[in-house]
Structure 1
Amino acid sequence: MILIADSGSTKTDWCLIDPEGEERYFMTEGYNPFFSEPASILNSIRNNLPAYLQHTDIKALHFYGAGCQDEQTAVIESILREAFPQCETIEAEMDLLAAARGLLNHNAGFAAILGTGTNTCIYDGKNITHNIDSLGFILGDEGSGAAIGKKILVDYLRDKMPQSVKRVFEAQYGLNAAAIINRIYTSPQANRFCAGFTRFLKSDEVDAAYSNNLLRTAFTEFFSQLVSCYPDYRQYQFNCIGSVAYHFQTQLREVLDDFKMKPGCILSSLIRELANYHK
């Protein structure tokens, strides 16, 4: 059997492919080695696999993950070998390669991730040939759920929200400034915490003008700081995976038009595309 995982910082999509080619899908929490301890990742994988999946049946495992780069790739592979000790082939690759393979298959082009975090690349149909580092949650990740969530929290903490929006925020979350600051600076996975506030902008009670302005600002930063830094970026279609890109397509497409880049494929998940790629 083949097991495929597409893991972000918030969730992991899995696909189990049996010898007859039948696919079974399930989901667990996200695993990012920059924000989670190896023991925590291992325990989560062991405790959240569905009952029908016997780890001894897995012969090949393809894991694509946020944070799977440099020495962190070896950390993830070590965890997976512990979780699936009898698996013959275990490969861990960065989530950006999953985005390129899922969105473009073997075609050359531009691929991006806009989820909890963000990333971008140029792909030649086989390998990533150019990647401008997103710099992660602290220094970059412009346009990501974490970056959008930070903007929402800053607006609230600095009293920049319209009063009608502020009342909705307080009614939904019941958080004060001390609780927010404590959660950001003393608890793990602050990126996931911030990204969780993006759904606030989907609420019918939130002023549409406020949501649109914040999202357009975030996506403009994403294009100005990352996408437009690729040489001749306008020659490519904009292909993107991620919940932020998918759920806020209206504002994203407006900014795409501002930067004279044509939209391509925009998906919320690509686990099915990865299953097809590996089959």
Structure 2
Amino acid sequence: MILIADSGSTKCDWALLDYHKNTVLKTNTAGLNPAVLSVSQLQTIILENEKVLAHASQIQEVYFYGAGCNTKEPTAIVEHCLQTAFKQAKIHVSEDMLGACLAVTNAPGVVCILGTGSNSCFFDGNKVDLPFLALGYTLMDEAGGSYFGKQLLQDFFYNRMPEKLKIHFENRFELSPDILKNKLYKEEAPNVYLAQFSKFIYEYYSQEKPYFKSLLENGFNLFIDNRLLPDERTRDYPVHFIGSIAYFFKEILVDCLKNKNLAPGKIIRHPIEGLIDFHKQNM
């Protein structure tokens, strides 16, 4: 059997295929990002995945595509953790950008992820070229969940959020300054914590469209200006997007791209279905 995993910081999707190209199971766990989780935390998440571990002795190959797996050290950490659980399997660990590319296209193009964080690359049909480093939520991650979560919190505390929306926001989340500071500066995975606030956009978009539309446009345009326009290849190829924010607000995103004279490509929510298709075709 072949095990496929696509992991962001918040969630990891798993799919198990047999050699008759059947999907045996699909499940999900918490995300496995070695940039924000310790080895013991990574191992705990893997070892608590009982549905997959029930087939561990039959799994011959594991293909893991994950956020934070773009340099040697974190890649080796994830390989070790997976090998501990799947002792008989050959482990393949790649960055999430490669998984995103394989999920949306087999032709040259620009591929972007808007998940908990954000990233972009040029894909030539075989290899990923990252024109810029991905340095996380503190320095980058424009238009990702952590970015929008931070913007919402700023708007709330700077009194820029519409009054009715502030009431909903205050009722929806625990906003004690002490708790916020502890979560952001002392606890693990502050990027995931910030990203949870971005769910508010989906939940209340219909009630305050002008405010949310402006928030989304600003984030999308910042991503385009910083990550896409400086790379000349972006103007010559379709620009594909993966992630819930891109998927649910595709109309706004497409308008932002067209206003910058860029060609929108596919916009999908989750890479896992595309990765299942890719691996079935290559079995």
Q: Name the TM tier (shorter chain).
A: over 0.9
Q: What amino acid is aligned across from residue 255 of structure 1 in structure 2? A: C
Give 1:202's aligned residue. Answer: 202
Aligned partners of 1:122, 1:114: CA distance in 2, in Å? 15
Corresponding position: 1:72 with 2:74: yes
Aligned partners of 1:52, 1:92: CA distance in 2, in Å? 18
Q: What amino acid is aligned across from residue 139 of structure 1 in structure 2? A: L
Give 1:121's aligned residue. Answer: 121
Shift in Å, 1:138:
0.8
Q: Which residues in structure 2 correspond to 1:47-66 (within 5 Å)? A: 47-50=48-51, 53-66=54-67
Corresponding position: 1:136 with 2:146: no
Aligned partners of 2:99, 2:233: CA distance in 1, in Å? 23
**RMSD of aligned alpha carbons:** 1.5
Quick check: 2:239–2:262 contact (8 Å CA) kept in 1? yes
SS in 1 for 2:125: coil
Quick check: 1:77–1:90 contact (8 Å CA) kept in 2? yes
Shift in Å, 1:193:
0.8
Shift in Å, 1:134:
3.0
Quick check: 2:6–2:99 contact (8 Å CA) kept in 1? yes
Shift in Å, 1:52:
7.5
Aligned partners of 1:91, 1:254: CA distance in 2, in Å? 37
Shift in Å, 1:15:
0.8
Stretches of structure 2 lacking an aligned partner (at least 5 in a row): none
Aligned partners of 1:261, 1:274: CA distance in 2, in Å? 26
Cα offsets for 1:122-176 (capped at 9, x unmatched): 1111101343223211111111111111100111122221211111101211423
Quick check: 2:70–2:95 contact (8 Å CA) kept in 1? yes
Quick check: 1:110–1:237 contact (8 Å CA) kept in 2? yes
Cα offsets for 1:182-205 (capped at 9, x unmatched): 211111111111111111112247
Q: Which residues in structure 2 correspond to 1:1-279 (within 5 Å)? A: 1-23=1-23, 24-50=25-51, 53-70=54-71, 71-87=73-89, 89-105=90-106, 107-204=107-204, 206-279=207-280
Shift in Å, 1:206:
4.3
SS in 1 for 2:197: helix
Aligned partners of 2:170, 2:104: CA distance in 1, in Å? 39
Q: What amino acid is aligned across from residue 81 of structure 1 in structure 2? A: Q
Instruction: Say if 1:189 and 1:274 are closer, same or farther in 2 by CA, change over 3 A.
Output: same
- The percent identity for this pair of structures is 34
Cα offsets for 1:75-115 (capped at 9, x unmatched): 1101111011111x11100000111111113x111111011
Stretches of structure 1 lacking an aligned partner (at least 5 in a row): none
Quick check: 1:168–1:206 contact (8 Å CA) kept in 2? no
Moved runs in structure 1, 4+ residues, more than 6 A? none
Aligned partners of 1:82, 1:54: CA distance in 2, in Å? 14
Aligned partners of 1:100, 1:175: CA distance in 2, in Å? 38
Aligned partners of 1:21, 1:133: CA distance in 2, in Å? 36
Cα offsets for 1:34-55 (capped at 9, x unmatched): 1111111111111123168321
Aligned partners of 1:259, 1:75: CA distance in 2, in Å? 40
